[in-house]
């Protein structure tokens, strides 16, 4: 995906064509809903060049994703966004949502998304009604009311992009690409319009050499977001091949397909039918069963939990997940990082040592 | 002296250690010096001093580098982490499976070793100085004592002041305020060693430590830390003959193994 446009280019192009931009924070929301209003959701996961301007406004035990998002806001990096969308993923993001209500100028609405902490029909009904409420809010903001057919078309486009992402994830580790290049391609889903992502992803799948077997030791990467990207280089350099992904920004959004004739029900079923995720409060037993089946299908030898420091949803699950995987003969390594900092020497040593134990 | 047939270089954050071994894996040459800011040049200089191994042209025998600065050696040499090297060195020295606690200058590690000498599991402290040799260096220096004398003071005290911080910066200020309150330096020293031992013991538990316990690294020379760790973990600690050289020794053994393969 060498010719993939940058975020800045995509935002400029979308605005030129008369569209609006929504800055969306992690993890789950419906892209289709925004796109039906010609609003392009551009995700912000902290890290990168967001800096540390947010630190002064938050408690020291707030995770670096939230600190990065606030820094991005305070330093004007989100100035192109006409609205913010804050999913209530965890207490920290919920807190940030309330801060934004005070900090963000009234001309730029902040839309929260409440996610059910459960599964099943009641959860789908709740999620669908939540999406309907956001629909009303967006209708009020834009003055347009897309029909059910418009919504279904928008969902179809996202499904197409999701199926390309699923194909990429299926082949992860067997595409002859450095891990950084794979994730750059997969994570362009965070800002590219669905149709552009699908086209670029298909190109990548057609033109990249496929290996019979992964080049390195097959590992599963779990966590929230692979930032800073040096971590991916360190895994490559140590001789690991990421063959299975359980990152919140990537594999945990390998959403289910739904054929529900009600567009809101369809969007809700897709989000809630995705892989079990700590940030949706799915039972740890389901998380473990999912990771075990991923690991067995891809012949994973070790799982690396690349966790953001102070991430409560992840921390609660970690001991049981590690125990369950270890009992199944899969080595585990937990790394805790501040995504605004360069990975430490100790992180590299731990990764290399893990790989040495598997040699 | 027997000929050096393999070399291990352990470029640690505080000291740099080199070991040369003979065919039968016995240490026949060793050197240790404080790590210099120009680690690459230091490693090159030390490698050139190994008797009969190539002089300034560099060693002609296999070399494995480990430690903090392992990536600074010439790329023709192999690099292996301290975790594998310490485990290899200690396993060869003590000839036992168990749990190895390595307290180095900048990090502490707990390594669980299986019956074949392989690493089963490991845990490392976070990147701050808490739980490392550096913690004791800083607090001992604040008391104007050497680390050894500071440890001896700890063992001489029947009393122990509870220290709540293992953060080096906060522990230092807590220590100053305890002195101001009139507590004896001996009981403060014991409290500081206890705080460090507790931290390392919890790291050991998190790694699933199994008996027997073994120790390597500079921290193994600290008698008070050793005694309090035994007390915290409820088991005796076995030491190799040269704890501080175990990383370099393990590296040399791996170099020898590789040459033989
Ligand atoms: S990293 Fe964890 S705590 Fe931080 S925003 Fe994401 S889910 Fe919330």
Contact state of A349 with B84 under an 8 Å Cβ cutoff: no
Q: What number of other Cβ atoms are within 10 A of residue B254's Cβ?
A: 22
Buried b vs exposed e over A9-24: b needs ≥16 C-beta within 10 Å? Answer: ebbeebeeeebbbbbb
Which chain A residues are Cβ-neighbours of B83 within 8 angstroms?
Answer: 349, 353, 356
Under 8 Å between Cβ of A339 and A308: yes
Contact state of A357 with B68 under an 8 Å Cβ cutoff: no
Cα of A5 vs centre of ligand 1, distance in Å, is: 28
**What does the pLDDT read at residue B258?**
82
Distance CA A129, CA A267 (A): 11
Q: Looking at this predicted complex, what is its ipTM? A: 0.81
A353 found inside a domain: no
A328 found inside a domain: no
Query: If residue B133 lies in a helix (H) or strand (E), which one and from where to where?
Result: helix B133-142
Of A346, A356, A357, the CB nearest to B107: A346
Q: Of the candidates B218, B223, B225, B217, which has an alpha carbon nearest to the alpha carbon of residue B197? A: B225
**What does the pLDDT read at residue B145?**
85
Of B68, B84, B127, the CB nearest to A353: B84
A197 found inside a domain: no
Distance CA A335, CA A354 (A): 12
Residues 6+ apart with CB under 8 A from A149: none
Of A336, A344, A357, the CB nearest to B118: A357
Contact state of A356 with B82 under an 8 Å Cβ cutoff: no
The 8-class DSSP code of residue A36 comes to: T
Two tokens, residue B255: 């170099």
pTM score: 0.88
Buried b vs exposed e over A38-58: b needs ≥16 C-beta within 10 Å? Answer: ebbbbbbbbbeebebbbbeeb
A311 Cβ closer than 6 Å to some ligand 1 atom: yes
Which chain A residues are Cβ-neighbours of B126 within 8 angstroms?
Answer: 336, 346
Chain B interface includes A210 (CB < 8 A): no
Chain B interface includes A336 (CB < 8 A): yes
> For B118, which residue in chain A has the nearest alpha carbon?
A357
**What does the pLDDT read at residue B167?**
65
What is the residue range of A17's domain? 7-139
Distance CA A306, CA A286 (A): 20
For the four alpha carbons of A230, A236, A239 and A240, in that order, the dihedral sign comes to positive
Query: Is residue A257 helix, strand or coil?
Result: coil
Burial of B138 (0-12, 13-18, 19+ CB in 10 A): middle
Distance CA B180, CA B161 (A): 13
B52 found inside a domain: yes
Atom of ligand 1 nearest to the CA of A224: 1
Running along chain B, 261 residues long, what does each successive block of 10 average in pLDDT?
87 91 94 92 88 67 91 83 96 96 86 94 75 77 85 88 71 79 89 89 90 92 93 95 95 90 72
A66 found inside a domain: yes
Q: What number of other Cβ atoms are within 10 A of residue A205's Cβ?
A: 16
Domain total for chain B?
Answer: 1
Atom of ligand 1 nearest to the CA of A66: 5
Q: Distance, in angstroms, between B9 CA and closest chain A CA?
A: 16
Residue B10's CATH number: 3.30.420.40
Mutate to test the interface with A, among B127, B128, B170 (most CBs of A within 10 A): B127
B197 found inside a domain: no
Q: Of the candidates B74, B71, A221, B72, which has an alpha carbon nearest to the alpha carbon of residue B62? A: B74
**What does the pLDDT read at residue B20?**
94
What is the residue range of B249's domain? 6-85+245-260
B182 found inside a domain: no
Domain total for chain A?
Answer: 1
B166 found inside a domain: no
A149 found inside a domain: no
Cis peptide before B212 (omega within 30 of 0): yes
**What does the pLDDT read at residue B56?**
60
Distance CA B237, CA B100 (A): 9
Cα of A308 vs centre of ligand 1, distance in Å, is: 7
Kindly calculate the radius of gyration of chain A based on its CA atoms and give it in whole angstroms: 20
Contact state of B120 with A357 under an 8 Å Cβ cutoff: yes
A123 found inside a domain: yes
Query: Strands of A110-113's sheet, edge to edge?
Result: A39-43, A20-24, A83-87, A110-113
B131 found inside a domain: no
Cα of A224 vs centre of ligand 1, distance in Å, is: 7
A97 found inside a domain: yes
> For A356, which residue in chain B has the nearest alpha carbon?
B84
Chain centroid, CA B30 distance in Å: 16
**What does the pLDDT read at residue B173?**
76
Which chain B residues are Cβ-neighbours of A356 within 8 angstroms?
Answer: 80-81, 83-84, 119
Buried b vs exposed e over B115-124: b needs ≥16 C-beta within 10 Å? Answer: eebbbbbbbb
Which chain A residues are Cβ-neighbours of B253 within 8 angstroms?
Answer: none
Two tokens, residue A178: 């450095």
**What does the pLDDT read at residue A104?**
78
Residue A77's CATH number: 3.40.50.11890
Distance CA A137, CA A83 (A): 11
Under 8 Å between Cβ of A84 and A108: yes
A30 Cβ closer than 6 Å to some ligand 1 atom: no
Cα of A59 vs centre of ligand 1, distance in Å, is: 14
Of A344, A352, A357, the CB nearest to B127: A344
A194 Cβ closer than 6 Å to some ligand 1 atom: no
For the four alpha carbons of A322, A323, A327 and A328, in that order, the dihedral sign comes to negative
- Residue by residue, DSSP assigns A63-129 as -HHHHHHHHHHHTTTTTT-SEEEEE--SHHHHHHHHHHHHHS-TTS-EEEEPPPSS-SHHHHHHHHH
Query: Is residue B9 helix, strand or coil?
Result: strand
Under 8 Å between Cβ of B113 and B87: yes
B18 found inside a domain: yes
pLDDT in tens, chain A (359 residues): 557 899 999 999 999 999 999 999 999 999 999 999 999 999 999 876 677 777 778 888 899 999 999 999 988 999 999 999 999 999 999 999 988 887 778 789 999 999 998 788 999 999 999 999 999 999 999 999 999 999 999 999 999 999 999 999 999 999 999 999 999 999 999 999 999 999 999 999 999 999 999 999 999 999 999 999 999 999 999 999 999 999 999 999 999 999 999 999 999 999 999 999 999 999 999 999 999 999 999 999 999 999 999 999 999 999 999 999 999 999 999 999 999 888 888 899 999 999 999 98
Atom of ligand 1 nearest to the CA of A278: 7
Of B82, B118, B119, the CB nearest to A349: B82
Contact state of A353 with B126 under an 8 Å Cβ cutoff: no
Which chain A residues are Cβ-neighbours of B127 within 8 angstroms?
Answer: 344-346
B225 found inside a domain: no
Cα of A66 vs centre of ligand 1, distance in Å, is: 7
| CA count, 13 A, side-chain hemisphere, A223 | 27
B57 found inside a domain: yes
């Amino acid at each position: 995906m060498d010719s993939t446009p940058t975020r800045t280019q995509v935002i400029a192009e979308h605005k030129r064509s008369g569209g609006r931009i929504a800055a969306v924070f992690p993890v789950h929301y419906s892209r289709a809903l925004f796109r039906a209003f010609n609003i392009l959701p551009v995700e912000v996961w902290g890290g990168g060049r967001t800096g540390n301007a947010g630190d002064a406004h938050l408690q020291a035990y707030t995770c670096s994703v939230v600190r990065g998002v606030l820094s991005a806001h305070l330093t004007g990096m989100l100035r192109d966004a006409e609205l913010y969308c804050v999913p209530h993923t965890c207490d920290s993001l919920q807190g940030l949502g309330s801060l934004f209500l005070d900090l963000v100028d009234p001309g730029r609405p902040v839309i929260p998304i409440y996610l059910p902490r459960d599964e099943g029909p009641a959860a789908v009904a709740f999620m669908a009604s939540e999406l309907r409420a956001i629909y009303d809010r967006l209708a009020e903001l834009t003055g347009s009311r897309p029909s059910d057919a418009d919504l279904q078309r928008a969902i179809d486009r996202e499904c197409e992009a999701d199926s390309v992402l699923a194909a990429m994830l299926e082949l992860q580790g067997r595409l002859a690409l450095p891990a950084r290049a794979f994730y750059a391609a997969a994570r362009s889903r965070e800002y590219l319009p669905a149709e552009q992502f699908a086209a670029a992803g298909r190109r990548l799948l057609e033109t990249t050499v496929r290996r019979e077997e992964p080049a390195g030791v097959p590992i599963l990467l779990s966590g929230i977001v692979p930032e800073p990207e040096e971590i991916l280089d360190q895994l490559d350099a140590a001789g690991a091949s990421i063959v299975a992904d359980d990152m919140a920004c990537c594999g945990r959004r390998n959403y289910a397909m739904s054929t529900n004739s009600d567009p809101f029900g369809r969007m809700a079923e897709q989000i809630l039918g995705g892989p079990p995720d700590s940030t949706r409060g799915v039972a740890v037993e389901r998380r473990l069963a999912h990771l075990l089946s991923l690991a067995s299908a891809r012949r994973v030898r070790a799982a690396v939990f690349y966790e953001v420091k102070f991430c409560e949803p992840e921390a609660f699950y970690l001991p049981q997940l590690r125990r369950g995987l270890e009992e199944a003969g899969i080595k585990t390594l937990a790394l805790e990082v501040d995504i605004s900092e360069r990975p430490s020497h100790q992180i590299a040593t731990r990764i290399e040592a893990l790989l040495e134990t598997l040699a | 002296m027997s000929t050096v047939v393999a070399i291990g270089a352990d470029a640690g954050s505080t000291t740099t250690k080199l070991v040369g071994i003979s065919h039968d894996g016995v240490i026949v040459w060793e050197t240790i010096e404080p790590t210099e800011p120009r680690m690459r040049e230091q490693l090159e200089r030390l490698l050139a001093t190994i008797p009969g191994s190539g002089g300034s042209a560099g060693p002609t025998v296999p070399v494995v580098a480990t430690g903090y600065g392992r990536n600074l050696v010439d790329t023709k040499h192999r690099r292996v982490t301290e975790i594998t090297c310490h485990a290899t060195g200690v396993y060869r020295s003590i000839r036992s499976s168990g749990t190895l606690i390595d307290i180095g200058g900048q990090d502490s590690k707990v390594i669980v070793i299986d019956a074949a000498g392989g690493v089963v599991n490991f845990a490392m402290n976070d990147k701050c100085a808490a739980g490392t040799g550096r913690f004791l260096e800083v607090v001992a220096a604040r008391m104007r004592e050497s680390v050894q004398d500071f440890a001896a003071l700890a063992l001489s005290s029947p009393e122990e002041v509870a220290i709540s911080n293992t953060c080096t910066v906060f522990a230092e200020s807590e220590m100053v305020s305890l002195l101001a309150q009139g507590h004896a330096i001996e009981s403060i020293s014991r409290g500081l060693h206890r705080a460090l031992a507790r931290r390392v013991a919890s790291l050991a538990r998190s790694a699933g430590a199994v008996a027997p316990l073994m120790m390597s690294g500079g921290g193994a020379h600290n008698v008070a830390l050793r005694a309090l760790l035994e007390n915290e973990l409820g088991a005796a600690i076995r030491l190799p003959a040269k704890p501080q050289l175990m990383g370099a020794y393990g590296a040399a053994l791996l170099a020898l193994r590789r040459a033989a393969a």
